[in-house]
Amino acid sequence: MKILIARMNHETNTFSPVATPLEAFGRNGPVHGEDAYRENKGMQTAMSAFIDAAENAGAQIVTPVSASANPSGPVAAAAYDAICNAIVDAAQGCDAVMLDLHGAMVAENSNDGEGDLLERVRAALPGAPIAVALDLHANVTQKMIDNADVMVSFKTYPHVDMYECGAHAARLFFDLLEGRSRPVIAWSQPPLMTHTLRSASAAGAMKRAVEAAQAAEREGMLAVSILAGFSLADIAKPCISVVVVGDGDREAAARVAERIGRQIWDEREEFLYRSPSLADSVAEGAALALDADKPVLLLDHGDNCMSGGTCDTMDVYEEAVRQGMTGIVMGPICDPEAVAKLMAAGVGATVTLDVGNKLAGRAAHPHAPVALTGVVRALTDGEYVISGPTYTGQRAYMGRAAVLDLGVAKIVLTERTHEPWDLGVFESVGIDPRRATFLILKSRMYCRPVFVPIAKGLVECDSRGVTSSDFSLFDFGNVQRPVYPLDADVSW
């Protein structure tokens, strides 16, 4: 048995001005062959689980590519073609395929990145079983469903079950190969664009939907996935989906998909997030800090790295300073121009320069850069190893990094957009985040498993960035209407 195993991950925010060339996939682009194997073996990705399962089965493994990039704007056509071609070209002579995909990729030359890839793989290997692991925020399409035999998504957000998802898909895949089951896929898709802050799996309607999925699996379905979708993609249907893998009975699977889809639709209001004003959110954070001996987290979800944010809006910082806050640690702020100037100045230098709002200035709601004067405290290569629980053990690359000390605040500036996965974002540049009064993070969820345990509390702050929960800021021209909440009168 010769099995093709590959990874292609990108969540595309079509409103983001952050470019996605081939170099964005990894440190300096995707890795191939043995390097793709080594990048995933022993890690916590779905591809890692695929490799383990295939090796345990004694299969021959082909790993043509591992390509993962932070969420950003549409993937460059050349980058998309290069990754897809690496997978399709390697299919010749293979007996089966397991793919670790995100499910919400939009490229310059494809509005359905995963669906178009799967269609090509199916054409290259007619009849070969194809298993797919997806992110919980995948935008599922009919083309994806039609060209997969097994489809399973993460059940957690923040995502801490990537490996488990891959192991689940691999188990069904080998059951299919060895004749122990006959997977069939059914799905439903209510016309509902969810807010990412309401897709957390530990609370509310999303928790109840995941629990319904788990109950259906206990009652006999091979896999049931709740995919919240990624609504900041101006495509036909960036909507929530329910994907059910049944054992030979497609009608039974369809009934489960319809029932859980109807549950989600009936609770649709709970999938929407209503933001308070930025001033009110920051004031709430100030009140929390009055008797705190731990940092207060100010989460700038309007400029969230892992939804395609520019990571350079300065709204929350400016409002915090306006309200008289001190003891601020903020970052990472993506500003390659500022990093270059700080590198040239050197540690210990006092520097005045414009910071932030440079990429944000190209978005629909521009801001002016902020003039700051401070002392350069640290300069590094911006690399560290993630301690977990998300992507445990993987090396993280922020690009070159610098610390600018303003007195009231210390700002970590980087050359790349970067999610604060880990305390290493700050510790790698000599800052102990536990000693801050306020931590301003460009994050919605992924920071929480690491930073919440060291914090007094957290406040969600909605800047007018390209990942805002206010859909009125965005011009959705390609979405099929009516759809909730863009339209009030929607039936399903």
pLDDT at 362 over 70: no
Give percent of the chain with pLDDT exceeding 90.
90
Q: Is 69 exposed, middle or buried (0-12, 13-18, 19+ CB in 10 A)?
A: buried
Same domain membership, residue 325 and residue 259: no
Q: Is position 485 within any domain? A: no
C-alpha–C-alpha distance, residues 41 and 52, integer Å? 8
Same domain membership, residue 189 and residue 83: yes
Same domain membership, residue 440 and residue 301: yes
C-alpha–C-alpha distance, residues 183 and 97, integer Å? 15
Q: What is the mean pLDDT of residues 422-447?
A: 95
Rg (CA), the chain: 22
Confidence of residue 365 (pLDDT cuts 50, 70, 90): low
Pairing of strands 130-134, 65-68: unpaired
Q: Is position 65 within any domain? A: yes
- Are 330 and 409 contacting, i.e. CB atoms less than 8 angstroms apart? yes
Q: Is position 484 within any domain? A: no
Query: For residue 165, what are its two tokens?
Result: 């998802």
Instruction: Count Cβ atoms below 10 Å from residue 422 Cβ, excluding itself.
Output: 25
- Are 394 and 313 contacting, i.e. CB atoms less than 8 angstroms apart? no
Query: For residue 32, what are its two tokens?
Result: 């191939």
Q: Is position 213 within any domain? A: yes
C-alpha–C-alpha distance, residues 444 and 306, integer Å? 8
pLDDT at 364 over 70: no
Q: Nearest 5°: phi and psi at 262?
A: -65, -40
3-class DSSP state of 4: strand
Q: Is 18 exposed, middle or buried (0-12, 13-18, 19+ CB in 10 A)?
A: buried
Confidence of residue 363 (pLDDT cuts 50, 70, 90): low
pLDDT at 103 over 80: yes
Same domain membership, residue 291 and residue 267: no
Q: What is the mean pLDDT of residues 272-283?
A: 95
Would you state the pLDDT for residue 464? 87
Mean pLDDT computed over every residue of the chain:
95
Same domain membership, residue 307 and residue 185: no
Same domain membership, residue 432 and residue 286: yes
Would you state the pLDDT for residue 277? 93
3-class DSSP state of 191: coil
Q: Is position 492 within any domain? A: no
Query: For residue 434, what are its two tokens?
Result: 């536990």
Residues whose CB falls within 8 Å of the CB of residue 218, separated by 6 or more in sequence, listed in order: none
Would you state the pLDDT for residue 78? 98
3-class DSSP state of 211: helix
Instruction: Count Cβ atoms below 10 Å from residue 490 Cβ, excluding itself.
Output: 16
3-class DSSP state of 484: strand
Which one is predicted more confidently, 242 or 292? 242
Sheet of 457-461: strands edge to edge?
A: 350-355, 370-380, 401-405, 409-414, 328-334, 438-441, 296-300, 457-461
State the first-to-last Cα distance of the chain, in angstroms, to the nearest integer.
Answer: 44
- In 92-148, the DSSP E strands lie at 96-101, 130-134
- Are 203 and 280 contacting, i.e. CB atoms less than 8 angstroms apart? no
Q: What is the mean pLDDT of residues 218-225?
A: 98
Would you state the pLDDT for residue 487? 97
Sheet of 183-188: strands edge to edge?
A: 183-188, 241-247, 223-227
Q: Which of 224, 247, 271 is the last residue of a domain?
A: 271
Count the domains in the chain.
Answer: 2
What sections of 29-73 are H helices per DSSP?
33-40, 46-56
Q: Which of 248, 271, 294 is the last residue of a domain?
A: 271
Instruction: Count Cβ atoms below 10 Å from residue 235 Cβ, excluding itself.
Output: 20
Would you state the pLDDT for residue 417? 92
Q: What is the mean pLDDT of residues 436-455?
A: 94
Residues whose CB falls within 8 Å of the CB of residue 107, separated by 6 or more in sequence, listed in order: 12, 74, 75, 76, 77, 79, 80, 113
Same domain membership, residue 83 and residue 46: yes
Q: Which of 183, 163, 187, 186 is nearest to 50 (CA)?
A: 163
Same domain membership, residue 237 and residue 126: yes
Q: What is the mean pLDDT of residues 423-447?
A: 95
Tens of pLDDT, residue by residue over 389-413, are 777 888 899 999 999 999 999 999 9
Tens of pLDDT, residue by residue over 170-180, are 999 999 999 99
Would you state the pLDDT for residue 287? 96
- Are 189 and 140 contacting, i.e. CB atoms less than 8 angstroms apart? yes
- Domain range for residue 250? 2-271
Confidence of residue 361 (pLDDT cuts 50, 70, 90): low
pLDDT at 425 over 60: yes
Helix, strand, coil abundance in the chain, percent, nearest 5:
35, 25, 45
Q: Which of 77, 64, 150 is nearest to 113 (CA)?
A: 77
Would you state the pLDDT for residue 393? 84
Tens of pLDDT, residue by residue over 264-277, are 999 999 999 998 99
Would you state the pLDDT for residue 434? 97
Same domain membership, residue 335 and residue 293: yes
Q: Nearest 5°: phi and psi at 205?
A: -65, -35
What CA–CA distances, in Å, run from 217 to 83, 222, 241, 389? Answer: 34, 6, 17, 26
Largest distance between two CA atoms of the chain = 70
Tens of pLDDT, residue by residue over 122-145, are 999 999 999 999 999 999 999 999
Would you state the pLDDT for residue 367? 79
Same domain membership, residue 306 and residue 259: no
Task: Return the DSSP state at 75.
Answer: B
pLDDT at 386 over 60: yes
Would you state the pLDDT for residue 390? 72
Tens of pLDDT, residue by residue over 34-83, are 999 999 999 999 999 999 999 999 999 999 999 999 999 999 999 999 99
Same domain membership, residue 394 and residue 320: yes
Same domain membership, residue 187 and residue 321: no
